[in-house]
Amino acid sequence: MTDIVDELQWRGLLALSTDEDALRKAFADGPLTFYCGFDPTAPSLHLGNLVQILTMRRIQLAGNLPLGLVGGATGLIGDPKPNAERTLNAPETVALWVERLRGQIERFLDFEGPYAARMVNNLDWTSGLSAIDFLRDIGKYFRVNKMIAKEAVSRRLNSDAGISYTEFSYQILQGMDFMQLNRRYGCTLQTGGSDQWGNLTAGTDLIHRVEPEASVHALATPLITKADGTKFGKTESGTVWLDAELTTPYAFYQFWLNADDRDVSKFLRIFSFKSREEIEELERQTEERPQARTAQRALAEELTTLVHGADQCAAVIAASKALFGQGDLGELDEATLAAALSELPHAKVDALGPVVDLLAEVGLVASKSAARRTVKEGGAYVNNVKVAAEDAVPAADELLHGRWLVLRRGKKNLAAIEVVSA
């Protein structure tokens, strides 16, 4: 691999660093032990977290030792949100989420060999710490004027919500994490998102105050933006999660497949482990033949395989093809088919009726008369079979898994019918 700092810069993953030249030297003198923290404020990580996990993986592949921190302590508080106080979750819930997030992170790192990763939990060094010890041993090194100047804090101070002492203290806890990891494992680098820069530098500042000669670093990735102005990692149905129960592998695949041509190059560099040459070739194909969506397909396949496994990715691709007549819908397993159909316009009916009624019911045509014209012109399909007669009524044995029909008008307009009491 090329110099890891150069690699991160080429991929658009280096927004801020405490001292780039010193960081380059630290990597060159390595191996370097580094960490990134993830708070269990939800039952799953999402695409924004995936940026950090994959950045950790890249740094590990360059010959460094990662520490994946899941914040059993900081997760009980949560870092300050931009506009409102967080709802505090029950300790039992946070403990459950710690294990779920830990399992998600572990899939992406290598825990064997000379650069083996290690998982840590900041509850280990905070649970037995008294308030007096915390204030005397840690709090005395923090200056309130600097804490107030941190972006996350100042933004809240200037909002109607204000900020509680609990969330105001979050940066002290994160700073203490870095100091503890530095002492326990020789950790000298913390990575995170640029929106966390104030919290990242809280750690370097604390270590420098306690041990002025220590050499420690912080590195931040940029906020990912989309060309159309919508928020990255969001769809009409909400956040794109890494948990298959919260975002199905099919929906996950479709998120990448539907990436804007203006964004796909950036997404490839940030998320893909393809080489520069492979990515530049995909960029060239996007520029020359954007309608083929070659780059989007490559990205969707790589990321779905990475997050959900090769079998799930193969099932998703099979479903995508079958929906458009390039495979047998009947061969799709129920879960994959259900996930695929949930992304389509759909309607529930009590009983099967004429195809023309179903086409109108689900909104594929404006009216029943339009549906009849579509059938007459040969443009109506049920489960990829062309409808031959205007009065055709699907049979009960045509229902996929006893529940669904896939309707299609023309080549690309799809919808689903679910019979709830057939």
CATH number at residue 122: 3.40.50.620
Q: Using CA atoms, how far apart are residues 329 and 398, in angstroms rounded to an integer?
A: 11
Any domain includes 228: no
Is 312 annotated for ligand binding?
no
Question: Which residues contact residue 256 at a Cβ distance below 8 angstroms, ignoring those fewer than 6 apart?
Answer: 267, 296, 299, 300, 303, 304
Is 170 annotated for ligand binding?
yes
Residue-by-residue DSSP string for 83-115: SSPPPPPPHHHHHHHHHHHHHHHHTTS--SSTT
Last residue of a domain, one of 268, 296, 327: 327
181 & 257 share domain: no
216 & 246 share domain: no
385 & 251 share domain: no
Contact present, 82 and 32 (Cβ < 8 Å): no
pLDDT score for 157:
87
53: enclosing H helix or E strand: helix 47-61
Contact present, 221 and 191 (Cβ < 8 Å): yes
52 & 166 share domain: yes
258 & 151 share domain: no
31 & 169 share domain: yes
55 & 191 share domain: yes
Structure tokens at 375: 């059938």
Contact present, 26 and 189 (Cβ < 8 Å): yes
What's the pTM value of the predicted model, to 2 decimals?
0.90
Q: Using CA atoms, how far apart are residues 74 and 91, in angstroms rounded to an integer?
A: 11
Any domain includes 340: no
383 & 290 share domain: no
Region class of 162: left (phi > 0), else alpha (psi between -120 and 50), else beta: left
On the 0-12 / 13-18 / 19+ scale of CB atoms within 10 A, 287 is exposed
- Residue 257, domain CATH: 1.10.240.10
On the 0-12 / 13-18 / 19+ scale of CB atoms within 10 A, 335 is middle
Any domain includes 261: yes
> From the CB of residue 324, how many other CB atoms can be counted at a distance below 10 Å?
13
Please, what is the Cα angle at 407 between 406 and 409, to 5 degrees?
Answer: 145
pLDDT score for 1:
44
Contact present, 414 and 408 (Cβ < 8 Å): yes
Last residue of a domain, one of 221, 245, 272: 221
212 & 240 share domain: no
- Residue 387, domain CATH: 3.10.290.10
111 & 178 share domain: yes
Helix crossing, 294-308 with 249-257: angle to 10°? 150
Q: Which domain holds residue 319?
A: 234-327
Is 60 annotated for ligand binding?
no
Any domain includes 106: yes
Any domain includes 336: no
For the chain, 422 residues long, the average pLDDT of each consecutive 10-residue run is 86 96 94 97 96 98 97 91 86 97 97 97 95 94 90 84 89 96 98 94 95 95 92 86 95 94 96 97 95 96 97 93 87 89 89 91 92 92 92 91 92 90 58
Please, what is the Cα angle at 337 between 336 and 341, to 5 degrees?
Answer: 120
**Residue from 311, 346, 368, 342 nearest 418 by CA:** 346
164 & 299 share domain: no
Last residue of a domain, one of 221, 249, 274: 221
Residue 109 phi, psi dihedral angles, 5° rounding = -110, 160
Any domain includes 229: no
Is 35 annotated for ligand binding?
yes
Any domain includes 286: yes
203 & 124 share domain: yes
Q: How many domains is the chain partitioned into structurally?
A: 3
Any domain includes 96: yes
3-class secondary structure, 197: helix
